[in-house]
Amino acid sequence: MLKERREQINSIIQSRGEIRLAELAELFPQVSTMTLRRDLEALEQEGELIRTRGGAASLHRLTLLKEAAYRQRQLENTEAKLAIAARATALIRPGTSLYIDSGTTCMIFAHALDVPNLVVLTPAPNIAIELAAKPGIRVHLTGGQLNPDTLTLSGAPADEYIDALNVDTAVMAASAFSLTSGFTCGDYQEARLKRRVIQKARRVIVLMDSSKLDSQLPFTFARFEDIDILVTEVSLPRDLRKQAEAAGVELP
């Protein structure tokens, strides 16, 4: 009876995509709410679903939504990101160790990268897969916990991996920038990893399209004085350019 009920619950959630606990209680009036919670917990442990506030959602549906959101971000400002990637790849020399950050701009950069004899470290599984198909590039993937929204591995294992390696050039992404907050992102663990990489790298290149200017997210990981090169698709506004040049930042 228990197995059959859980199979029925899982089938309902997989077909609908998600359900609220109150709806489940209506569908199974003979079962207590506490028992239904335990059913959802068991199905979550089996990897069938993820519990949400007041219910549960199909893991497959959430995965599709995450993929769609990532594809949508890839389509945003595509021309700008292609222009940034073209400028940035020209800055990479053969025979160097390279860190490539996560993010859609860095993914486009990785796709455009055609430089031989590189050792690349990345926290992004999709970028690692992209580079693995390129001859002459050895790829290392950091460990850590995967953020499904940004496709980034971060946490203590990633920190330890960074500490054990030397980085010639770090190619970083920023989700937002303002003069008051600097370069920011939306995840604390990822910001910490970014700061660690920037401290290790001999040269830091930030890729950021102009739509990220004059905005901020909760966690600052760098300011102009922490980086060497900023690559955008347009000329910076005069006040930002003056601040960048005063900090010694190149603007190719």
Q: Let me know how long the chain is.
A: 252
* Closest CA relative to residue 157, chosen from 173, 146, 167, 148: 146
Q: Are 47 and 32 in contact (CB under 8 A)?
A: no
> What pLDDT is recorded for position 61?
60
> Which of the residues in the chain have pLDDT under 50?
65-70, 74
Q: Long-range contacts: 228-232, Cβ < 8 Å, 24+? A: 228/203, 228/204, 229/91, 229/203, 229/204, 229/205, 230/205, 230/206, 231/84, 231/87, 231/88, 231/91, 231/205, 231/206, 231/207, 232/80, 232/84, 232/208
Six-digit token pair at 198?
A: 């920037």
Q: For residue 70, what pLDDT is reported?
A: 47
Place of tokens 């995509």: 17
* Whether 221 contacts 93, CB under 8 Å: no
Model pLDDT, residue 67 = 45
Q: What is the pLDDT of residue 72?
A: 53
Sheet holding 182-185, edge to edge: 176-178, 182-185, 219-222
Domains of the chain (ranges, CATH numbers) = 2-65 (1.10.10.10), 76-246 (3.40.50.1360)
pLDDT of residue 76: 61
SS3 244: helix
Span 110-125, pLDDT tens digits: 999 999 999 999 999 9
pLDDT at 68: 46
pTM value surpassing 0.85: no
Rounded Cα distance between 97 and 85, Å, is 18
